[in-house]
Structure 1
Amino acid sequence: MSLSTKPLANVTVIELARVLACPFADMILAELGATVIKIEQPGSGDETRSFEPPVGDESAYFFACNRGKQSVTANLKTDAGRRIVRELAASADIVIENFPVGTLARYGLDHTALRAANDQLIYVSCTGFGQTGPYAKRKGYDTVFQAMGGLMSLTGERGGGPVKPGLPIADLTSGMWIAIGLLSALNGRTLTGKGCHIDFSMLDGQVSLLTLAAGRYFALNEVPPRLGTEHPGRVPSATFACSDGAYVHITCSDQHWLPLCTLLKLDALASDPLLATNAGRVEHRERVMQTLTQAIAGWTRRELCDACDAVGVPAGPINDVAEVLADPHVRARGMVGAFEHPTVGSFGALPLPFKFDGFDDPQIQRPPLLGEHTDQVLRERLGYDAQHIAALRRDGAI
């Protein structure tokens, strides 16, 4: 049998998590080769299994963030269910959980308890506000963290109210932060031979993303205003309406300014020394934007994008989801695929965006049925026999 060349083929993850951030992190690890064992409540499982939109008796929401995992049911309210988790964690590399602060300590499944039996274990606690601090006991969801972390304050049209992005950015970026932390800890373990506990706060993750907005505040004491699609420090960098009702986003550095003016036949702007640098265009933002908006209004989206490409001006169409998934470049890069599901059949999916030279590229895998791997995992990993498994099921532990 040939060895797998997936980069995380030697890693085992126990997922004590649900909904989106942690499952998304674990799906990344799973399709990079890790064995991810998702612990779910018997009978119901991860609540996202019932989220909209439905696909037969399954959920497209669950499908989007749970591919490539093994599903094991274990009732953590029973001694036998908790014992299953402890025994699995004793030989695992990673445990990831997103229970409220203190919950798993009451079950004897916190990082102190599990790492006492496996000092190489990397244990991630993902909560809304972290294990410490005045908000540690507070509840929150993606949009709460977007609001409290500043993202919504930056998003929206000029003079308008705050707007949430069209995707659960706090959840998705938290999943990426968690994956980064886990991969760092795995490498750290090779240096020390020891595992660790990672305390990750989703609010912390959003604060870290403020980057350039915080930089403007530190440098200028400026609280960045909402500017719609415009950039606070670059002009032009904005979305413009075209004659066909579609939109194009254009972003220019100084070297693109004259080609754009020439393309749009804006000789007065091109010859104005006040506008030759970005600093000058930022200072005269209203004039520049008004003139560009009027000039671009006579172009169709396709005409403008093609013309910008021809002269090297960075521009792109504002695509909706259907247009993105049909885009020939996106398709050529293999970014639209599918998996075969035992009850749903073929269902579309987006692969991880990595192209490796030296490892196998990540492959789209299917999400598990609830409890699909319970018997297999208990038998092969823990050595339970059929009678033991049947008794656990009869007692409601699995």
Structure 2
Amino acid sequence: MRPLEGLKILDLSRVLACPFASMILAEMGAQVIKVEQPVTGDETRHFEPRVTGENGSESAYFFAFNRSKQSITVNLRTPEGQKIIRDLAREADVFLENFPVDTLKKYSLHYDAIREHNSDIVYVSCTGFGMTGPYAPRKGYDTVFQAMGGIMSLTGERGGGPVKPGLPVADLTSGLWVVIAILTAVVGKDRSGHGCHVDFSMFDGQVGLLSLAAARYFTLGEVPARLGTEHPGRVPSAAFECADGRWVQITGSDQHWKPLCELLGLDQWAQDEVLAKNIERVKRRDEVMHGLQQAIGKLERARLCQLCDERGVPAGPILSVDEIFADAHVASRELVQRFAHPQVGEFEGIAVPFKFTGYDDPVMGRPPLLGEHTDHILMEKLGLTQEQIQGLRQLKAI
């Protein structure tokens, strides 16, 4: 048994953040019914990159965030489609949506309307800037939330301009926030006996990640500068280039300073009682960083990592994507798994990274074809006949 078996999620979300959240929950056992627009479906079904197999072409982007779900197509603009959603919501534990503020109110699918049919529902609204506040009507994408939420201002080389991370961090972390919100609300419902509405803003989620930057600002009034891979309050904590042109990230505390200096042949620094304290190394940041780079630049990456491991100095090679997926530890942890898809055949995906004792581990299922489960769900959940389903198709409700 997987830990979330029996949890029923009606998922009206699209694109990345919320589909990522519902996929995580699905692979831990929840039943996720993904509601899509007829004909076109979730817009990411048409995104690059494409993967082509013997029976067709599919979006690998869609695959990455929509495994293990059931797909039903419903036209929310029709009264019949709206009724289908309300009827499905009667039996759902969670209702997940990421439409712009008040969009679903036009279709009587907002929280108050759904709660009339299911008073225990956990209804999660994920919007760009929340349901209230001066920014509520604004539109945004991942990079806009990165920019306004602070992470771009903190990312980039010293003295350089802002840089976005190489992944859609605002989308991905928002997905994780949504998972936390859903699980928290479900536990709360079990204890209190009633559901709730969760108003989650992707902007709020990014501000919520500021953590150390906020602590420095609240404490020191400091607006952190961009430092590349360096840490504002710890030296060393940075990426260093090795003799072979490869890079290593070394992050050490006071107890690591002496062994690091010894393995690099910096014997004078190893005996320096002043530099043994991080606060002094921070004061002499440029000098220390220059000296470390000079010594590290004489060693190849593999040798440096070996020496650090032997002396207990926290360090790791900066791996490219191809190196990560060729890594023996990644293989041993089974982080890359496969699913069989009827259009493209075998395809790889990144597993949900949990290992349970006492429950079955997450299971990687394939992404659904568009509307693949429409008839089955309408018959099983709502008791409709084939004739009624055909009538809904003629009305373009599904």
**TM-score (normalizing by structure 1):** 0.98
Q: How does 1:1-398 map to 2 (within 5 A)?
A: 5-56=1-52, 57-398=57-398
SS of 2:161 mapped into structure 1: coil
The 2-side partners of 1:364 and 1:243 are apart by 41
The 2-side partners of 1:69 and 1:231 are apart by 41
CA drift of 1:151 comes to 0.1
Q: CA RMSD in A?
A: 0.6
The 2-side partners of 1:33 and 1:353 are apart by 14
SS of 1:276 mapped into structure 2: coil
Deviations 1:200-250 (A, max 9, x none): 000000000000010000111000000000001110000000111100010
SS of 1:381 mapped into structure 2: helix
Deviations 1:252-308 (A, max 9, x none): 111110000000010221222221111111111111000000000011110100111
One-letter amino acid of the structure 2 residue matched with residue 269 of structure 1: W
CA drift of 1:393 comes to 1.2
The 2-side partners of 1:67 and 1:322 are apart by 23
CA drift of 1:55 comes to 1.1
The 1-side partners of 2:82 and 2:322 are apart by 44
SS of 1:126 mapped into structure 2: strand
Deviations 1:35-86 (A, max 9, x none): 0000000000000000010112210110000000000000001111111100
SS of 1:370 mapped into structure 2: coil
One-letter amino acid of the structure 1 residue matched with residue 370 of structure 2: L
The 2-side partners of 1:304 and 1:215 are apart by 34
The 2-side partners of 1:111 and 1:39 are apart by 17
The 1-side partners of 2:185 and 2:167 are apart by 28
Structure 2 residues not aligned, in runs of 5+: none
One-letter amino acid of the structure 2 residue matched with residue 230 of structure 1: E
SS of 2:382 mapped into structure 1: coil
Structure 1 residues not aligned, in runs of 5+: none
Indicate the percent of aligned positions where both proteins have the same amino acid. Answer: 62
Paired residues in the alignment total 394
One-letter amino acid of the structure 2 residue matched with residue 174 of structure 1: S
One-letter amino acid of the structure 1 residue matched with residue 114 of structure 2: L
The 1-side partners of 2:189 and 2:348 are apart by 37
Deviations 1:4-53 (A, max 9, x none): x1111111001111000000010011001000000000000000000010
The 1-side partners of 2:323 and 2:115 are apart by 48
The 2-side partners of 1:382 and 1:277 are apart by 68
**TM-score (normalizing by structure 2):** 0.98
One-letter amino acid of the structure 2 residue matched with residue 244 of structure 1: D
Deviations 1:170-195 (A, max 9, x none): 00000000100110111100111110
One-letter amino acid of the structure 2 residue matched with residue 6 of structure 1: R
The 2-side partners of 1:106 and 1:396 are apart by 19
Deviations 1:360-389 (A, max 9, x none): 000111000000000000000000000001
One-letter amino acid of the structure 1 residue matched with residue 4 of structure 2: L
The 1-side partners of 2:337 and 2:4 are apart by 22
The 2-side partners of 1:60 and 1:134 are apart by 37
The 2-side partners of 1:344 and 1:358 are apart by 35
The 1-side partners of 2:280 and 2:180 are apart by 39
One-letter amino acid of the structure 2 residue matched with residue 80 of structure 1: E
SS of 1:274 mapped into structure 2: coil
